[in-house]
Amino acid sequence: DAGVTQTPRHEVAEKGQTIILKCEPVSGHNDLFWYRQTKIQGLELLSYFRSKSLMEDGGAFKDRFKAEMLNSSFSTLKIQPTEPKDSAVYLCASSGDISNERLFFGHGTKLSVL
Amino acid sequence: GDSVTQTEGQVTVSESKSLIINCTYSATSIGYPNLFWYVRYPGEGLQLLLKVITAGQKGSSRGFEATYNKEATSFHLQKASVQESDSAVYYCALSATNMGYKLTFGTGTSLLVDP
């Protein structure tokens, strides 16, 4: 049973680098979400796609964060250029119900920016 | 803004004992939030444990229960008899109706069940 798959599990980047995180949602799910999770800020929504169309882009994250969904089974989150404050766990989730009240999350990618 | 408070960062309980994980919320921008418990088992991604969208109702799953208490603004998670396999991190969360993806999470409670 394939859940949400995120790669890589860990990423270490130098300040100023470009990194790309990948996500494969649960097969058949129309909605895909990217979140950032930190102890201080908790869970913050970065992007929301419905049927590959960008529905929300998490306002404050527009400048250096770009999520794309090239097809229904694959999404990327690009951070360019990275800054130390971007160090966090990045979670991808998908949903198959229209109210999005049951999300399926990946393991997350732990990003460390030096 | 909205917030969810989990006062215990870590809880240790002996197997077969009862459990309560506390959760209180503040929903200043949402009149009647939907309430959730998500769980992360070791080596797995976050997954929904239970949800309740109506005040006064109780949700249950895998032996866990939580009651939406609007007066006390609480949504405590309880289980009468825990098992070692319940060891995990539990997150209380809220959202507005039909916006279950805009979750406000608590900081999480790590449960360790001693065999």
pLDDT digits (tens), chain A, 114 positions: 568 999 999 999 999 999 999 999 999 999 999 999 988 878 888 999 999 999 888 777 778 999 999 899 999 999 999 999 999 999 999 998 877 778 899 999 999 999
Taking the mean position of all CA atoms in its chain, how far away is CA B113? 17
The answer to whether residues A87 and A79 touch, using CB atoms and an 8 Å cutoff, is: no
Residues A107, B95: C-beta atoms closer than 8 Å: no
The C-alpha angle with vertex B59 and arms to B57 and B109, in degrees rounded to 5, equals 120
Q: 3-class DSSP state for residue A59?
A: helix
The answer to whether residues B115 and B16 touch, using CB atoms and an 8 Å cutoff, is: no
pLDDT for A101: 76
Probe site for chain B from A30, A43, A50 (most B CB atoms < 10 A): A43
Q: 3-class DSSP state for residue A86?
A: helix
A23 and chain B in contact, CB less than 8 A: no
pLDDT digits (tens, 9 = 90+) for B43-97: 888 899 999 999 999 999 999 999 999 999 999 999 999 999 999 999 999 998 7
Residues of B in contact with A45 (CB under 8 A): 101-102
Residues A42, B99: C-beta atoms closer than 8 Å: no
Q: 3-class DSSP state for residue A84?
A: helix
Asked whether the bond before B33 is cis by omega within 30 degrees of 0, the reply is no
Residues A43, B103: C-beta atoms closer than 8 Å: yes
Cβ neighbours of A102 (radius 10 Å): 13
